[in-house]
Each structure stands twice: as structure tokens, then as C-alpha cells.
Amino acid sequence: MLPPAFLVCALAAVAHASPHHAHKVFESIASPDGWANLGAAPIDHIIPLRIALPQANFAALEEHLYAVSDPAHERYGAHLSKSEVEALVAPHPDSVSAVDAWLLEHGIPDSACTRSPAGDWVSVRVPVPVAERMLDTTFHVWKHTEDGNEIVRTTRYSLPAHLHAHVELVQPTTLFSRVKARRAEARSVGVQARVHDVRGVVAVARSDGTKLTVDAGCNETVTIACIRQFFNIGDYRASGTNGNQIAVAGYSEEYANAKDQQLFYADQLPEALNTTFKYVLVNGGKNGQDYDSDTYAENSDMQTVLGLAFPATGTYYSTGGEGPWIEDSDTRTDTIAPYGAWLDFALAQEKLPQTISTGYESHEQTIPESYAKRVCAGFAQLGARGTSLLVMSGNGGVGDAEGDPRTQSCWTNDGRHKRQFLPSFPASCPFVTAVGSTVFIPEVAAYSSGGGFSNYWSRPSYQGRAVSEYLTTQLRGTYAGLYNPNGRAYPDVAAQSINFRVALYGQLTAAGGGQQATAAFAGLVSLLNDARLAHGKPPLGFLNPFLYSSGLAVFNDITSGNAPGCGTQGFNATEGWDPITGLGTPDFGKLKDLALAF
């Protein structure tokens, strides 16, 4: 049921004001499937409106981002400060004035507004009658037909015509979401071939013709020692005294558990016993340390990143709330993590971790494009400030993370009901590093590894050569019409993803999925940052321009396996970049030498 409503007296007292600016429809949607309209919203219900103002100089921020992220550029590593980034994304004064005047016309003074540090978001809490007058609409109570969840939304809203150039989005309005966001399911996956002999070692051929030996037992159980072998980390150990930090961003009421972290350390990293990580609560997030809480995914993530990066300082962000969501035929519950709320918090901090891992995914089409692009712009701000953000490419091949990738069918949710591969967000954002999945020795692509091409973003310049070669020499028109060949392609890289030995609910067990690969790769990036910091160099920051240029030749190319979905065999792993394992899996020794060379 709806929470008890209350009045904001100061605003309600002026709610009768009726500005005379002509409104023009800003956004409208069809009546949402699975929701029943129960009638007009209560007049005393409070709506927390968030208004996005255009970021006046984002193009300049993007130029700075690519300059400081490209090893060939003279400004490589000269990351921007918090204030420098905020100056670039701050809205134009005309937009601020126009929106402020509009709010004041409806009795909302500046003192009633909350603004982001850059001023590009304005938040107000208003009663339904005020929101309806502001947006020339009618809000209704909508009830979900399956779980009975009730929300207050509209299917159409307007803004004064002169405001359309000064506002990018206003929410929550047309966004129909469930109470609890769902994290993509983590699961162990099988592949086409597997080595069963767990005695001795296995010699793995690398892309440059060299050999790397890995304990054959890593086919059955992947430990931190196994990952260090897979990545060719050798005996490198982080210093722990140079300010290196790594974090996991968690959502969906899932929590990292301190007791399980100690059990993991006792099992695999005894030198870390009795150390802990920082737990930061964001947007009403909680710290669920009892075993009644959902600890599966975030436990395994924290254990993997700190298992590799120790003794780097670790942080877990527990972010509450939900993100905006549009239902599609495969997504009947809200899968959208509240990235915006976490970004509001993170970007307000003076200092950020150099490496952040997050293992969440949703169909790109289930996220309103305006919201997705604002979130992606926030990720660009992280990169400009020197943070490497690693995200998983997905757990559902070219389609749905919830079903068996081999049998799923995939349809657009734009009214056309067109069969189409379903790109994943946030992996499809060009300002993150998306991590695909491999399994076993020798490594092959995991059949659940997400990959594909965005429908929201065009292919970034750093991918031009690698992806173009794949399209022209490997794919050659296969699946034409099922994907956007001009879109941002993902994943960028890959890592081991199944049978990780972790501690969950007080017991040692196995975990797997794309988020494990992401956490492992994030741990490796943290070690690269540690090496640079130890040599007086800035952190790597946004990785992709480096990976697709200088780093291109030092990845281990994965050429076996495929990721089926949407009633097809999906994409294949093949020579060079491919949309299932990206550039391949990393060789730490070679990447470290490169990272210290500039």
C-alpha cells in the first residue's frame, strides 16, 4: 500500500497559483502492461520530483576525458578535480534561471530545493496538486497486478514550451517500477569443453606464443591463487601504503558480510585476517549483517576484489532505492539499480576510490534513454576524475539474464514487438569497461557471457579498428537486423567467471557469474593502479582508450565458445575482438610494464 501521506504546508498554501505559460507535451507513454489504474492520487501524497538540467559543456568534459585517458596524449593521467568536472557539467545560467522561475511560479522557493554539487539536478518534494499544475497532468495510483505494489505515476506530462530547452527529464513521472530492484542472477555456467584432469598443471598457450602454467585443479575450484595464475600476477603484492583504494557498488538490498569476509580470509588469505572494509550507506541503503539478509552476490564480489587487491583499502557502497524502468516481454519486474542515487553521492565526494566494480545489468531498452544517458554521463565524470569503473557485460548471452540463454526469445518493447538481440546496460555505456566471462583451462567463452551492440550509443572512436575488423572479417552480415552494427560494442575484456571458492552464510561454497569476472578484473586493475602509485604516477582512470591502443597486443585472445540467445547461436569467440570476450583475458605482467611506461 502507499505510505501514509502528509502535507507540505508551505507549498500547499500556494498551490492555487496558476501560471499562464502554455504547456507542451514533454513525454508520454502507452498505458503500462501489468498495472491497473486505481484512480486519482491522494491530494496529500508527496512526490519527490527530480529535474535534470542540460549539462552545458559535457562535450568539453568528454574531450578532457579522452585526453587524460589516452597514453598517446600529452595530458595522459592529468585527471580533473571535482571542481573542474562540476564546472564543465554545470547547467547554463539561462537554464538555472528558467527552471528557478518556473518553480517559484508554483510557490517553490530556492530554500525548498536540493541541488547536486554541479547544479545539474534539482530535487523538490511537492504535493500531488502542485506537481499536477507544474506538469499539466493528472497523477493516478497504479497497482501492479502480480504483487499488489502501488505507485503514483502519470502516462503523460507537459512543460511550458520555453522550458523544453532547459530540462532533460523530470521523474518520477512516467517511470513504472517495482519497489525492489533485482540484481542480475549470478549462476555457474557450463561450456562446450572442459578439462577434467585435476592433477599437476596445465600449460596454456598465450597469444604471443608463450606458455603459462596453471594448476589443473583450477578447473574445479577457482581460488585467489588460481586467479593470480590466470592473470600472470606472479609474486606481485600491493604495498598498502600508497593510498590505493578499491570499492564495490552494491544495490538491491544485497550486502557484503564482515563475518564471511573473515572466513574467506582464513581459507585463502590468512595475512588479511582481522582486517575489514569500509561500509558506506547511500540513499537509505542498509548494512545487513545477519544471515537473513541477501549476501550472496556482494559477499563474493568483496571477497574477490579484496582477495586480489589486499592490502588496498576496500569500500562497500550499500545503495538503497530503485531506478526508473520500462517493462518488456522478458523483464516483468524492476531490474534497474539506482545508479543515479549512487552517482549523486559518489560525485559529491572530494576523493574517490581509484577502482570500482559493480556487477549489475538490465536490458538497455528497459531504461528510459534520457535516464540512461544521464547516468552514463555520470560515469564519464568518474573517469575524468581518475576512477576506473568495471561493470559486467551480462549473464544472458545476447538476450535475457533471467532465462536459459539457449532458449530465450527476445522482443523490443517499443510497440513494434520486433525480434532483436537485447543489449545490456550499463555495459553499453561507452564510458565504462565491460567485462565478459570465460571458463576453465584452456579458457573458452562462457555461454552466458553477455555481449552485443548498443541501440542508445554509437560506436566510440577507441573501438573503431577492433570492432570494424570483427564486423567485416568475422560476422560478415550474420544476424543482420538483430543488432545495431554501428552501436557501442561490448564487452571490452573478459575474465574467469565460475566455481569461485567463497564464503557465504558462514560456509565455504562455490559462486559464479559475470559479476565474479568483473570483480576479478577489478582486482587486477587495482594492482595496476598500485604499481603506478608506487612509482609516483597517477591512476589509470578510464581504461578503454589504453586497452584498445597500447594494451591491445598484451591480452590473451579467446577464440573458442559462443553465447547463444534469442533463439540463435549468438556470437562466437574468435580471433581478435569479439562481442563475447572482448579483447580477451589480461596478462598482468605485460599490462604492468605498459602501465609503467607512460
Q: Is the pLDDT of residue 204 over 80?
A: no
- The last residue of one of the domains, among 171, 202, 226, is 171
Report yes or no on 212 lying in a domain. no
Report yes or no on 132 lying in a domain. yes
**Who's near 323: CB < 8 A, 6+ residues apart?**
177, 181, 334, 336, 337, 338, 339, 340, 341, 367, 371
Tens digit of pLDDT for each residue in 544-583? Answer: 999 999 888 899 999 999 998 888 999 999 999 999 999 9
Report yes or no on 205 lying in a domain. no
- Going by pLDDT thresholds of 50, 70 and 90, the confidence category of residue 336 is very low
CATH number of the domain to which 488 belongs: 3.40.50.200
Burial class (CB within 10 angstroms; exposed 0-12, middle 13-18, buried 19+) of 111: exposed
Report yes or no on 447 lying in a domain. yes
- The last residue of one of the domains, among 115, 141, 171, is 171
Q: Which three cell numbers stand for residue 245?
A: 583504494
Let me know whether 263 and 167 are in one domain. Answer: no
Residue 274, helix vs strand vs coil = coil
Question: If you average pLDDT over each of 111-125, 178-192, 241-255, which comes out highest?
Answer: 111-125
Distance from chain centroid for Cα 146: 28
Between these two residues, 543 and 550, which has the higher pLDDT value? 543
Let me know whether 409 and 291 are in one domain. Answer: yes
> Which domain range does residue 99 map to?
9-56+91-171
Tens digit of pLDDT for each residue in 213-247? Answer: 889 889 889 999 999 999 999 999 999 899 999 99
Nearest to 529 by CA among 247, 278, 243, 302: 243
Let me know whether 149 and 248 are in one domain. Answer: no
Report yes or no on 404 lying in a domain. yes
Residue 39 host element (H or E): strand 35-40
Q: What angle do CA 466, 470, 472 make, to 5 degrees?
A: 115
Report yes or no on 231 lying in a domain. no
Let me know whether 258 and 162 are in one domain. Answer: no
- pLDDT averaged over the chain? 86
Let me know whether 149 and 263 are in one domain. Answer: no
Report yes or no on 266 lying in a domain. yes
As a whole number of angstroms, the distance between CA 296 and CA 288 comes to 12
Let me know whether 126 and 268 are in one domain. Answer: no
Crossing angle between the packed helical segments 82-89 and 58-69, to the nearest 10 degrees: 140
Count of structural domains, the chain? 2
Dihedral angle computed from the Cα positions of residues 115, 116, 122 and 127, in that order, rounded to the nearest 10 degrees: -70
Report yes or no on 219 lying in a domain. no
